[in-house]
Amino acid sequence: MKLFFIKILRFLLKPIFLLVYKRALPNFAEDFPGKRVFMISELPGGEIQWVGIHRRKANLGNTHPWNRYFNKPLDTYPKTLADIEAFLLSCKYVSDRITRSQSDFWEPPDIFEHRKTGDCEDHAIWAWRQLDDLGYKARLVLGKCKKWHAWVHILVNGRAYLLEATQKHKWFPYSQSYDAHWSVERVGKKKFAFFLHAESEESQSIGSPEFDYKWSQLDN
């Protein structure tokens, strides 16, 4: 009897789910191959959300030189967003204090994919690297989603998407809750461009000892 009611409930909820899915990702089929994923939402405003103010240099607090996150071969080769999502779902969110005994440590993707544990920037950097390898125009983003956080933006056909790499459940990230402060994009083999999205004292403090302290408090 219980199984019967579950089937009925799924049948009744399916149209609602499809409506929510279409609103969250109305252009998914056009912009991405493969089956739908739950880690991304389309950003309102399209390219406006993507652009930012270009900066030649920025200290964003990365543990290694930026090229270190791209110059080592990986052992995982996802072909679609669904493959990326499947791998990230198999990873566990664990703070740097536990994995590295440090307040903050940005794990290179070749190490992260074997440890399969890390915090928001570790998940996001791995996704950023894989998206870049697949040929997508993607950026690692630092900003706020209630608290300091890291995620990924993707630009496809003039539409901007948000990918929440730490999401472990099957509903879409609410893109309006994310406030980008800085983003970084790989624009050449050893070249990276930086973009300021929010001109505030908090944005300017990213990479400073004061910011590192705030970032280290995320998992406390």
Cα–Cα distance list, 150 to 120, 162, 205 (Å): 6, 11, 16
If one compares 201 and 26, the residue with the highest pLDDT of the two is 26
Res 69: pLDDT: 98
Res 10: pLDDT: 59
Res 9: pLDDT: 59
Spatial strand order of the sheet with 137-145 comes to: 40-42, 159-163, 147-156, 137-145, 179-188, 191-196, 53-55
Q: Residues 6 or more apart from 162 whose CB is under 8 A from it?
A: 40, 41, 42, 43, 151, 152, 153, 173, 175, 178
Res 218: pLDDT: 46
| 171-195 pLDDT per residue, tens | 788 888 899 999 999 999 999 999 9
Q: Give me the residues paired with residue 151 across strands.
A: 141
Domains annotated on the chain, with CATH:
2-216 (3.10.620)
Supply the pTM of this predicted model.
0.82
Q: Residues 6 or more apart from 53 whose CB is under 8 A from it?
A: 195, 196, 197, 199
DSSP, res 183: E
Residue 79 confidence class, pLDDT cut points 50, 70, 90: very high
Span 12-27, average pLDDT: 58
| 31-49 pLDDT per residue, tens | 999 888 989 999 988 788 8
Q: Is the pLDDT of residue 122 over 80?
A: yes
